[in-house]
Structure 1
Amino acid sequence: MTARVPAYRQAQVAIKRYIEDHGLKPGDLLPPEAQLARDMGMSRLSLREGVKSLEALGILEAKQGEGIYVKAFTFDSIFENLPYSFATDGKSLRDLLQVRTALEEGLIGMVAGRATPEQLDHLERLARQMLQKAQAGETFEDEDREFHLALYEPLQNLFLNRLVELFWEVFRRLHGSANVTAWHLEQTAHDHLAILNALRARDHQRITEAMHAHFQQIHARLGPQPGTPPPVTDILPPPPANP
């Protein structure tokens, strides 16, 4: 027996289809509630429930005294639900880092031929600020976040920028400053300088290696995944001492 679809879910689907069919864009105003309910063949109560759920998802925005607007996409609703969306055993953190590593390592080579001298200078200022703070024993989350966002600006890919920002923010919230020492801070700053210097040299292999080394340090800081067997070694144990 097929489960009955809740009214608010039916309303969600109908509203999204209405937006698509009428070519509505962010900032466009939907028709008044009574007209919209009539056009979609549903009660005003079901429509309100659908609107509220789509507001929570960041798709619609209701303004008092004005009406209901189509909202520009953001990751805000994802950020708000992070504490309820990720496991606390560390697996989600490692999974996320794996995806983020693949994304940034895979795209960093494209930046080399497109970054302007001004963009590289901006990255250098950020990396130098990170190093100064690290040497003073201070964290540098703001500079780190801005560095990774500015890094992909030359690609002019808004969706990529949002993904990088999302991954960075989620990782920061899940990981925080766990296992971060003064040595890690300084090494992280040097990692960013190495990425910058490789970009200035426009050496694609060196760029990829620098980004890989940066993420390897983060992976190492998280430690091995629970249940992972110890690495195999070819070193034989010393022979027993002669009696």
Structure 2
Amino acid sequence: MTSKVPAYRQAQIAIKRYIEEHQLQPGDLLPSEGQLAKDMGMSRLSLREGVKTLEAVGILEARQGEGLYVKAFTFDSIFENLPYSFATDGKSLRDLLQVRTALEEGLIGMVASKATPDQLGRLEELAQNMMTKAKAGEPFEEEDREFHLTLYGPLENPFVNRLVELFWEVFHRLHGTAGVTHWNIEQTAQDHLNIITALRTGQPAQAANAMQTHFQQIRERLELSGDHLTELAKNRPKKPRGKPN
């Protein structure tokens, strides 16, 4: 037996079909709510619910006192909601790291041929700050985040920057909830300095190798975190059972 399509979902489909059939472009104004409801043969309430969901995913934009407009497509709504689709477990972290590794290792070679001296200088400054903090036993998450975002600036691709930012934020959020592990933070800082050294050669292969080494360190760290949490779970004292009545 086929389940009935909810009214708001029917409204979504009808509105998107209307946009396609009338070849509306970003910034174009849709008819009034009343006219749309009449044309689509549905109640204003159902239409309004469909509009709200399409606003949430960035297809429509309601402007106060003006009406309903087609919105230019962006990945922002996807990026904003993606972090909540990951579970805080080791499998999710490993899966995410695999995608992040493929993205950054695959792009670093292009950076090697495009980075300017000023961009490399900023990256080295960030990496040196990371090393200074590492030697003082201080965290350097902000510098690490800015490093990876600055790294792909030479590509002038906002989509790449948004992806790198998303993967960095989600990974660090999940890794933070997965338990704290001790690792050589000076080695992590050194990895970033090694990436700069490789980039200065202008050789894509050397840059890719330096990035590969960096992510290998992260993978090993992640495995240690998983082993650490497993050991904690095994050694956690069991709660005493209540006495029978």
TM-score higher than 0.5 here?
yes
Identity %: 66
Q: 1:67 to 1:138 in 2, by over 3 A?
A: farther
Partner of 1:194: 194
Please identify, of 115-124 and 65-74, the stretch whose mean Cα deviation from structure 2 is larger: 65-74
Give the number of equivalent residue pairs. 224
Q: Structure 1: which amino acid aligns with 2:76?
A: F
Q: Which runs of 5+ in 2 are unaligned?
A: 228-245
Partner of 1:121: 121
Q: Structure 2: which amino acid aligns with 1:165?
A: E
> Are 2:127 and 2:147, in contact at CA under 8 Å, matched by a contact in 1?
yes
Alpha-carbon separation, structure 2, partners of 1:55 and 1:42: 19
How big is the shift at 1:22?
A: 3.1
Is 2:103 the partner of 1:103?
yes
How big is the shift at 1:47?
A: 1.2
CA RMSD after TM alignment: 2.6
Q: Structure 1: which amino acid aligns with 2:200?
A: R
How big is the shift at 1:149?
A: 1.5
Q: 1:226 to 1:196 in 2, by over 3 A?
A: closer
SS at match of 2:166: helix
Partner of 1:88: 88
> Are 1:58 and 1:77, in contact at CA under 8 Å, matched by a contact in 2?
no
Q: Deviations over 1:68-112 (max 9, x none)?
A: 3426524356545634x2223321111111111111111111111
Q: Deviations over 1:106-134 (max 9, x none)?
A: 11111111111121112112212222222
Please identify, of 14-23 and 193-202, the stretch whose mean Cα deviation from structure 2 is larger: 14-23
How big is the shift at 1:63?
A: 4.2
Q: Structure 1: which amino acid aligns with 2:166?
A: L
SS at match of 2:68: strand
Alpha-carbon separation, structure 2, partners of 1:140 and 1:164: 18
Segments of 4+ in structure 1 off by > 4 A? 224-227
Q: 1:170 to 1:226 in 2, by over 3 A?
A: closer
- Where do residues 134-173 of structure 1 align in structure 2 (5 Å cutoff)? 134-173=134-173
Partner of 1:203: 203
SS at match of 1:118: helix
Bigger proportion of residues as helix: 2
Please identify, of 185-194 and 71-80, the stretch whose mean Cα deviation from structure 2 is larger: 71-80
Alpha-carbon separation, structure 2, partners of 1:75 and 1:213: 31
Alpha-carbon separation, structure 1, partners of 2:72 and 2:216: 38
Partner of 2:24: 23
